[in-house]
Every structure is written in structure tokens, then in C-alpha cells.
């Protein structure tokens, strides 16, 4: 139950689903050699970018269907596990991330460029970020995904949405098998979004922090007018949005 969307790399799939269910599994087993190589690659990455933080993260271990429900199996890890992608022969590590498509009432979606202090400097993408495992006795379910998506929108753009306002828009599988869960928020005036983003930038700068997005813009069609690099899903989802708005 997948459908291909046009992308420059032709490696993106949309996993069609009416609903989404998450199931916790065990983290991938690593040999001592792979673990040592992972730690070595991570140490070099932190040396090059001291802002990197080995915080909690989630990897996708499998996907499947129960009727119209997409079942996403996941396991808790830390960010250093993504260094395995640079270790030959290591198990594949597929991240799970959320984004929010923030429409503008005049048409178009808000996209942002990652700042130099992030793990993907200069990359254009929808507001969002990697999913984190639940804290304590919390549960990672679709309600929690919506909450994390809202948090990313607030932290990156300064716009505050509520989980109940979000609509599940698309689920994608892209580079490295990464799973993106994409939500859509209610439209806002462009001036409102711009003012909230600028207020966020001022607050972050005053606190001595670098905003995660160093620029935002509105795109109403293909992403070709944006400079590379771009998130692997961006072109396809903009086509999806444009096709819907022109129906």
C-alpha cells in the first residue's frame, strides 16, 4: 500500500493510511565492532560541531498494515546511533520525524532553512524534527506525535498550534528508510506568521541562542526556486499541496 511521488531522486514513497498506530520494539543489536565504530564517528562529528547533543531519539524498526491502519514499529535510541550510517556493514538506522505544513490563508506553505548550528545546515524543509521517546510512563502514540509536531512549530517558527487542530496529511519513507509523519495546521495570515517568527528570533538572540531556522519563506508550488539542499520529501509534498489546491 505505497504510492510513489515524483522527487529528484525518485526514492520517496508515501505510505497510505487512514490512521496510524505505533508499537514499541527493542533497539537494534550492535556488535562490539559496530558500537566502537559508531562511538568513533560520533566523537568526530561532535568535534566538528560541538552543538550536537546525544539526546533521546526514535528509530523505525518496521512498518506494516492492519487494515487501513499503518502500524509503525519503533525503538528508543540516542542520536549517536545515526552515526551508524557512516559505518560500513552496520544495521540500517531509519529515523522517525514529524513536520507541520503551515498554510497561509492567501495560499502556500511555510518552509524554513536550517541554521548553521544544526545537524543539516542550509537545508530547506517544513518545520519539524526528530521524534523523541516518551518520558517516564508516557506513551508514544499519535496524540504524542501531534504534540511533538506542535512543539517543533512553536520552537522553530513561533506559531502555537494545538494537537486537536492538526490533520494527518501524509506519511513518507525516504532516504535511509526515514519515516516522516506530516501534519497540516489551520491556515494563518502570512503577516501573523512573519511577526511570530521575528519575535522568536529576537527572543532567541537575546538569550544567546541561535534559532533553528535562520530564514522562512512561503512556497506555493514546486520547491525548485529554493536553493539546495532540500529535505527529500519537500518537492513531493509541495506538488501534493499544489495539486489539491488546484482541484
Report pLDDT digits (tens) over 113-123.
999 888 889 99
- pTM attached to this predicted model: 0.91
The whole-number average pLDDT for the span 214-243 is 86
pLDDT of 62 strictly over 60: yes
Phi, psi of 80 (to 5 degrees): -65, -20
Q: pLDDT band at 8, cuts 50/70/90?
A: very low
pLDDT of 246 strictly over 70: no
The whole-number average pLDDT for the span 17-29 is 92
Q: Which pairs with CB-CB distance under 8 Å and at least 24 residues apart come from 218-222?
A: 218/104, 218/108, 218/109, 218/110, 218/111, 218/190, 219/108, 219/109, 219/111, 220/107, 220/108, 220/109
pLDDT of 43 strictly over 90: yes
Q: pLDDT band at 17, cuts 50/70/90?
A: confident
The whole-number average pLDDT for the span 108-113 is 95
SS3 of the chain: the string is CEEECCCCCCCCEEECCCEEEEEECCCCCCCHHHHHHHHHHHHHHHHHCCCCCCCEEEEEEEEEEECCEEEEEEEEEEHHHHHHHHCCCCCCCCEEEEEEECEECCCCEEEEEECCCCCCCCCEECCEEECCCCCCCCCCCHHHHHHHHHHHHHHHHCCCCCHHHCEEEEEEECHHHCEEEEEECCCECHHHHHHHHHHHHHHHHHCCCCCCEEEEEEECCCHHHCCCCECCCHHHHHHHHHHHHCC
Which pLDDT does position 227 carry in this prediction? 83
For 93, 117, 142, 154, the CA distances from 209, given in Å and listed in that order, are 30, 10, 30, 15
Mean pLDDT of all residues belonging to the chain: 91
pLDDT of 222 strictly over 80: no
pLDDT of 4 strictly over 80: no
Q: pLDDT band at 243, cuts 50/70/90?
A: confident
Q: Which domains does the chain have, with CATH numbers?
A: 2-245 (3.90.79.10)
Residue showing cell 551508524? 84
* pLDDT tens per residue, range 119-145: 889 999 999 999 999 988 889 999 999
Question: Rounded CA gap, 218 and 239, in Å?
Answer: 14
* pLDDT tens per residue, range 47-57: 998 888 899 99
Which pLDDT does position 223 carry in this prediction? 65
* pLDDT tens per residue, range 185-208: 999 999 999 999 999 999 999 999
Amino acid at each position: 500500500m505505497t504510492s510513489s511521488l515524483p522527487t529528484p531522486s525518485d526514492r520517496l514513497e508515501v505510505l497510505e493510511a487512514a490512521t496510524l498506530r505505533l508499537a514499541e520494539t527493542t533497539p537494534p543489536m550492535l556488535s562490539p565492532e559496530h558500537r566502537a565504530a559508531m562511538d568513533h564517528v560520533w566523537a568526530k562529528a561532535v568535534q566538528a560541531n560541538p552543538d550536537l547533543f546525544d539526546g533521546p531519539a526514535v528509530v523505525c524498526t518496521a512498518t506494516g498494515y492492519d487494515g487501513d491502519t499503518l502500524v509503525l514499529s519503533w525503538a528508543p535510541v540516542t542520536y549517536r546511533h545515526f552515526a551508524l550510517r557512516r559505518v560500513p556493514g552496520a544495521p540500517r538506522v531509519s529515523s522517525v520525524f514529524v513536520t507541520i505544513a503551515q498554510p497561509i490563508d492567501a495560499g502556500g506553505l511555510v518552509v524554513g532553512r536550517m541554521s548553521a548550528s544544526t545537524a543539516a545546515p542550509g537545508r530547506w524543509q517544513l518545520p519539524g524534527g526528530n521524534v523523541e521517546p516518551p518520558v517516564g510512563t508516557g506513551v508514544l502514540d499519535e496524540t504524542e506525535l501531534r504534540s511533538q509536531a506542535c512543539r517543533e512549530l512553536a520552537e522553530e517558527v513561533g506559531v502555537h498550534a494545538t494537537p486537536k487542530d492538526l490533520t494527518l496529511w501524509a506519511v513518507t519513507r525516504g532516504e535511509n528508510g526515514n519515516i516522516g509523519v506530516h501534519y497540516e495546521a489551520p491556515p494563518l495570515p502570512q503577516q501573523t506568521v512573519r511577526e511570530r517568527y521575528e519575535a522568536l528570533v529576537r527572543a532567541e538572540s537575546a538569550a544567546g541562542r541561535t534559532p533553528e531556522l535562520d530564514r522562512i519563506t512561503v512556497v506555493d508550488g514546486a520547491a525548485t526556486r529554493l536553493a539546495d539542499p532540500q529535505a527529500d520529501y519537500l518537492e513531493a509534498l509541495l506538488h501534493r499541496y499544489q495539486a489539491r489546491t488546484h482541484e
